[in-house]
Amino acid sequence: MDFTFSPEHQALRRMIREFAETEIAPVAAELDREHKIPFEIMRKLGEIGLLGVCFPQEYGGMGAGETGYCILMEELGRVCANTAVNVGAHIGIGAMCIHLDGTPEQKRKYLTPLARGEKIAAFGLTESNAGSDAANVRTRAVREGDSWILDGGKVYITNGSYADIITVLAVTDPALGARGGITAFIVETDWPGFKVAREEDKMGIRGSSTAELVFEELRVPHENVLGKVGEGFVTFMKSLDMGRLTLGAACLGGAQQVLEQSVYWAKTRVQFGEALAHKQSVQWMIANMATEIEALRSLVYRVAWLVDTGQPFTQLAAMCKLYGSEVLSRAVDMAVQIHGGLGITRDFPLERAFRDARINEIFEGTNEIQRIVIASNIFREFGVRIRP
């Protein structure tokens, strides 16, 4: 297997890194400190085609595939977790639903402006009683002529306060449950009946919007059913598979950044008459960080290759999310230890990285859920079906 990136993907990485270092890195701390959504950054990302990096060119995308998208998320995660989260919610789950199961008409109407960055997407799955138990959604959609009437709400929705288009999961037949009674819809947020109830005040990723949404007799045209009636849960789970892979890529970028910061600090910080780099305890932490990062890099881009070549990847995507989030958490923890007291001050970006990293073990399916997904797939290969 050839692990070399194509010349096109190498050029894409150079372009993204230059943009990230010149446009995003200088304002990353401010986004966190001021709780600012990077609207201007999102606009510029759209202008240069990066908000549609993985989508087909016929729908306004760049056509760089999942590998290109992972490169984008790695480079964004390297400089700013907030921007990576905002972009991931837009591309990886919000717009991804439409890319995967939308009709040609829906893709022309919705995916094209999303890929161009003219509109922003969000992913409406989680509810107060449906977090890890995602099939337990209570938002209802009732057919009324050529429309569906949507009532209910969603919580913890990234981009929720400013998204133009939200893909929403709702119960359409309670008797059938998740595998036949839940439908996905494309909702425009300027329709009557849509409301942003509140925004969360979070420990980390403070430069992203995490909102509670309410739907009150919101009328959705039948043409905005996404996929088939009753099969919305499957659509959403397929999108989460994609999102979990690219979340692993963002974690890869974040871990690489704190490794580089730690190496620089170990070279320059002198204690007991010599640089920290000469201390075996520090060397071991650097070695552990680098080894896990390299293993994560191989996993992420192998799974991206599987996606781009049309092969099964659900189990490995769960591994990307599980391993990536934990590699990042361990890397940040060791980096803070190497920096000592300065690592927990706001004079150093590690303090922000420490707070930002924690959410990766929770959203897009908790790490406990990922372990269930992985174990279920493994046992299924041996003819055993385990209960969730």
Q: Which sequence positions are flagged as catalytic?
A: 364
Exposure string of 218-251, with b = 16+ CB inside 10 Å and e = fewer, is: bebeeebbbbebbbbbbbbbbbbbbbbbbbbbbb
Measured CA to CA, the distance from residue 303 to residue 67 in angstroms comes to 9
What is the three-state SS of 284-330?
HHHHHHHHHHHHHHHHHHHHHHHHHCCCCCHHHHHHHHHHHHHHHHH
Measured CA to CA, the distance from residue 1 to residue 23 in angstroms comes to 36
Nearest CA-CA partner of 82 in 370, 359, 320: 359
Q: Are 135 and 178 in contact (CB under 8 A)?
A: yes
Q: How far is CA 213 from the centre of its chain?
A: 19
Angle value at C-alpha 326, between 321 and 332, nearest 5 degrees? 130
Contacts (Cβ under 8 Å, ≥6 apart) of 348? 261, 339, 342
Measured CA to CA, the distance from residue 159 to residue 194 in angstroms comes to 15
Give the CB-side neighbour count of residue 17, counting CA atoms within 13 A.
11
What would the two tokens of residue 105 be? Answer: 């008409």
Q: Using the 8-state DSSP alphabet, how is residue 90 labeled? A: I
Q: Are 121 and 114 in contact (CB under 8 A)?
A: yes
Measured CA to CA, the distance from residue 368 to residue 371 in angstroms comes to 5
DSSP 228-250: STTBHHHHHHHHHHHHHHHHHHH
Could you tell me whether strands 225-226 and 182-188 are parallel, antiparallel, or unpaired per DSSP bridges? antiparallel
Measured CA to CA, the distance from residue 169 to residue 184 in angstroms comes to 5
3-state secondary structure (DSSP) of residue 265: helix
